[in-house]
């Protein structure tokens, strides 16, 4: 008997489709209440650090260089108070086969799919992960389908997303392009069911565990070169995988580094809005993903996301679109390095944060990404102008997403702005209670303290305010 393929019928089969396509029985880790055993999920369905390194190194992923940005550091010190201006470094993940750190996630996911006997993989992403999965699928001889939210209802595609589609196709993937809206997840589920392929989700334990090698390498390479860990590691934050995996890798190295998340401020723009889809000039690393996924990770395409960034970030900052475009140009002009906007989001934040730090301290951006036709500054700014966005030089503090892009008139105007983590922690606790509709147990409270990187007393106070 043929199964009904209308939207409601497919969504009703979501749990069944997920179980078959991922091969993880998430119910094994549930408590029946709010809490679930996150570390058990990571242990039983992931890989050891050594196994992940072996998988990645066998396909040319990882062991990427750490680059010191001496000229950028010099510029920082010209803007900073006397004695301030930490040395700035970056981990050059653009040297991975697909051009981003997401090759680490994809290497493990595709390896796991092949190990389980799947003939192909499917992933839903408009970002670098699609190219990473396509690259690893090609290496491992598997089929690959990338489902991509690409256009608004007029059929107009954002240049950066179109660029990524070209890269996916060049690496042998079939790219299914859709307009913005709920159709993406429906089509994704339907393809998983029809093909019987593996769900190479960004948010599985093996995908997130793949990023642990990044954090571990940062610590090991820094110790070898400079005799200590970096003082601060800045991670661009969207769905949370970069922050989570990097943090866990640093912890496995016993690193003392402070972790700071950074996103582009797109406040006021709705990510699922057809009318606002092309009003944003950043397709990843922005608050439209960073905020909701940090305050409630389990909104992804698996029952329990392995990316849980609020557990690890010690500080969360935002930068303006104009600041990221500006720092991209500065990086090219001063350091001779052309890199894409994702890593440069963290770099813009690092430029500001370094001015708070002493000159003998170090700050590293955890990743870079490749750049290409649609990722360059000019096509992005030209597209913004075509969509009615005003572009001018001034103070980025006045930037209004969807209305203007303000390039800093002087580098000293680049300022990382703090996000209220206390508010985000309380938001996660409130969402958890409203989602599961239970009276939190002591186990739930302990779990929520871990989820929010806080303490039991904080959670209890938050619960009182909710009531």
Sorted by where each begins, the domain ranges of the chain are 56-98+208-418, 421-466
- Structure tokens, 61: 């992923």
Identify which of 310, 367, 282, 356 has the alpha carbon closest to the alpha carbon of residue 102. Answer: 367
Separation CA 462–CA 427 (nearest Å): 9
pLDDT at 309: 98
Q: CA–CA separation, 396 vs 56, rounded Å?
A: 40
Q: By the 8 A CB rule, do 138 and 120 touch?
A: no
3-state DSSP percent of the chain in helix, strand and coil, to 5: 50, 15, 35
* Secondary structure class of 112 (helix, strand, coil): helix
List strands edge to edge, sheet with 174-179. Answer: 174-179, 143-151, 120-124, 198-199
Per-residue pLDDT at 14: 84
175 three-state secondary structure: strand
β pairing state of 87-91 and 362-365: parallel
Place of tokens 């002009």: 333
Closest of 273, 210, 270 to residue 245, by C-alpha: 210
Please spell the DSSP secondary structure of 44-61, one letter per residue: HHS--HHHHHHHHHHTT-
Q: Which two tokens stand for residue 138?
A: 């090609």
Tens digit of each residue's pLDDT, the chain (467 residues): 678 888 889 888 888 888 899 888 899 999 999 999 999 999 887 789 999 999 999 999 999 999 999 999 999 999 999 999 999 999 999 999 999 999 999 999 999 999 999 999 999 887 899 999 999 999 999 999 999 988 888 989 889 988 999 999 999 999 999 888 778 888 999 999 999 999 998 899 989 999 999 999 999 999 999 999 999 999 999 999 999 999 999 999 999 999 999 999 999 998 778 889 899 999 889 999 999 999 999 988 888 999 999 999 999 999 999 999 999 999 999 999 999 999 999 999 999 999 999 999 999 999 999 998 889 999 999 999 999 999 999 999 999 999 999 999 999 999 999 999 999 999 999 999 999 999 999 999 999 999 999 999 999 999 999 87
Q: What is the pLDDT of residue 271?
A: 79
* Residues comprising the chain, all counted: 467
Give dist(CA 345, CA 261) in Å, integer: 10
Residue 212's closest CA among 354, 108, 141, 296? Answer: 108
DSSP string, 58-101: HTT-S-PPEEE-HHHHHHHHHHSPTTB--EEEEE-GGGSTTSST
pLDDT at 10: 86
Does domain 56-98+208-418 match CATH 3.40.50.1100? Answer: yes
Decide: helix, strand or coil at residue 150: strand
């Amino acid at each position: 008997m043929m199964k009904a393929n209308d939207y409601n019928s497919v969504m009703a089969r979501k749990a069944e489709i997920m179980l078959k396509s991922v091969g993880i029985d998430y119910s094994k880790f549930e408590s029946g209440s709010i809490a679930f055993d996150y570390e058990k999920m990571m242990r039983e369905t992931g890989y050891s650090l050594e196994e992940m390194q072996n998988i990645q190194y066998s396909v040319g992923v990882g062991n990427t260089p750490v680059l010191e940005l001496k000229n950028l550091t010099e510029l920082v010190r010209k803007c900073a108070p006397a004695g301030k201006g930490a040395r700035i470094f970056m981990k050059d993940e653009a040297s991975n086969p697909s051009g981003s750190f997401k090759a680490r996630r994809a290497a493990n996911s595709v390896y796991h799919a092949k190990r389980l006997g799947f003939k192909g993989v499917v992933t839903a992403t408009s970002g670098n992960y699609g190219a990473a999965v396509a690259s690893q699928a090609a290496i491992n001889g598997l089929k690959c389908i990338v489902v991509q939210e690409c256009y608004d209802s007029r059929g107009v595609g954002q240049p950066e997303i179109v660029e990524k589609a070209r890269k996916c196709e060049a690496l042998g993937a079939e790219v299914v392009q859709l307009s913005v809206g709920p159709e993406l997840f429906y089509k994704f589920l339907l393809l998983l069911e029809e093909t019987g392929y593996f769900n190479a989700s960004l948010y599985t334990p093996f995908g997130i565990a793949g990023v642990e090698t990044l954090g571990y390498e940062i610590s090991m390479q820094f110790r070898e070169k400079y005799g200590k860990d970096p003082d601060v590691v800045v991670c661009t934050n969207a769905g949370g995988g970069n922050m989570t995996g990097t943090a866990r890798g640093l912890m496995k190295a016993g690193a003392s580094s402070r972790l700071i998340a950074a996103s582009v401020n797109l406040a006021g723009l709705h990510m699922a809005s057809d009318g606002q889809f092309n009003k944003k000039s950043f397709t990843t690393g922005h608050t439209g993903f960073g905020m909701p996924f940090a305050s409630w990770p389990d909104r992804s395409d698996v029952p329990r996301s392995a990316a849980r960034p609020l557990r690890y970030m010690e500080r969360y900052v935002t930068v303006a679109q104009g600041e990221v475009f500006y720092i991209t140009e500065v990086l090219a002009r001063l350091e001779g390095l052309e890199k894409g906007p994702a890593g440069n989001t963290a770099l813009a934040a690092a430029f500001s944060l370094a001015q708070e730090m002493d000159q003998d301290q170090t700050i590293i951006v955890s990743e870079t990404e490749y750049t290409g036709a649609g990722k360059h500054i000019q096509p992005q700014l030209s597209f913004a102008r075509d969509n009615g966005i005003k572009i001018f030089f001034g103070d980025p503090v006045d930037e209004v997403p969807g209305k203007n892009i303000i390039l800093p008139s002087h580098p000293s105007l680049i300022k990382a702005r703090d996000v209220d983590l206390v508010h985000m922690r309380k938001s996660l606790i409130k969402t958890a209670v409203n989602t599961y509709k239970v009276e939190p147990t002591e186990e739930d409270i302990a779990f929520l303290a871990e989820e929010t990187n806080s303490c039991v007393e904080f959670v209890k106070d938050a619960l009182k305010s909710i009531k």
